[in-house]
Structure 1
Amino acid sequence: MEKDKLYQLKSDASKISPILNIGKNGVTESLIEELNNKLKVNRLVKVRVLKSAEDEKDLKTIADEIAVSTRSTLIDVRGRTVVLYR
């Protein structure tokens, strides 16, 4: 992805709120299904990863897993928030 597009997406992401929370159940099939639906509608989404989700995996691993599972691009990981684009 080109640098200008990436900066624009990060800027756009700063104006939206997280639409899903990943909790103690982690990344489930139903979460991926819901996230796919949100990506179809919005293209750019934020997901908050709660501390309880990090029992077995670290935040970066969870973010990569979500991006691969939804066939989206991981734009940014800030704090506990993951930004995805499709």
Structure 2
Amino acid sequence: MLTGKQKRFLRKEAHHLKPVFQVGKGGVSANLIKQTEEALEARELIKLNILQNNAVDKEDTARQIADGAGADIVQIIGNTIILYKESKESKQITLPE
């Protein structure tokens, strides 16, 4: 679980990132979760975009992806989700205490 200070730090780090994946009308699939896990292992911090044609609530979508990938939701702003998961192999981000 991330603290408020850590979330602020990660939001700042994610500001310049471009969304890696888009969640469309197909919703959350096993393939999307698998790809999200791989991207998080490589980058630790990613953005996802929820398209307008997605009928599912964005908080539910974010929770499904985060739970499936074992990640923490840093922020949901507009139709953008920011996720963080500490990498086992290539640790790049050092969180504040």
- Please give the TM-score of this superposition, normalised by the length of structure 2: 0.83
After superposition, the C-alpha distances for 1:37-79 in whole angstroms (9 at most, x for unaligned) are 10000000000000111x2x21111111111111000000011
Q: Which has the larger radius of gyration?
A: 2
Q: CA RMSD, aligned part only?
A: 0.8
Following the alignment from structure 2 to structure 1, what is the Cα–Cα distance between the partners of residues 38 and 14? Answer: 18
Structure 1 gap segments, 5+ residues each? none
After alignment, is 39-48 or 57-66 more displaced? 57-66
- Pair 1:64 & 2:66 matched: no
- Pair 1:75 & 2:42 matched: no
Structure 2 gap segments, 5+ residues each? 86-97
Which amino acid letter does the alignment assign opposite residue 29 of structure 1? A
Where do residues 1-86 of structure 1 align in structure 2 (5 Å cutoff)? 1-53=2-54, 55=55, 57-86=56-85
Following the alignment from structure 1 to structure 2, what is the Cα–Cα distance between the partners of residues 72 and 23? Answer: 20
Q: Give aligned-pair identity as a percent.
A: 25
Aligned-partner SS, 1:46: strand
Following the alignment from structure 2 to structure 1, what is the Cα–Cα distance between the partners of residues 5 and 25? Answer: 36
* Residue-pair matches, total: 84
Following the alignment from structure 2 to structure 1, what is the Cα–Cα distance between the partners of residues 3 and 37? Answer: 24
Following the alignment from structure 1 to structure 2, what is the Cα–Cα distance between the partners of residues 19 and 8? Answer: 20
Following the alignment from structure 1 to structure 2, what is the Cα–Cα distance between the partners of residues 71 and 2? Answer: 17
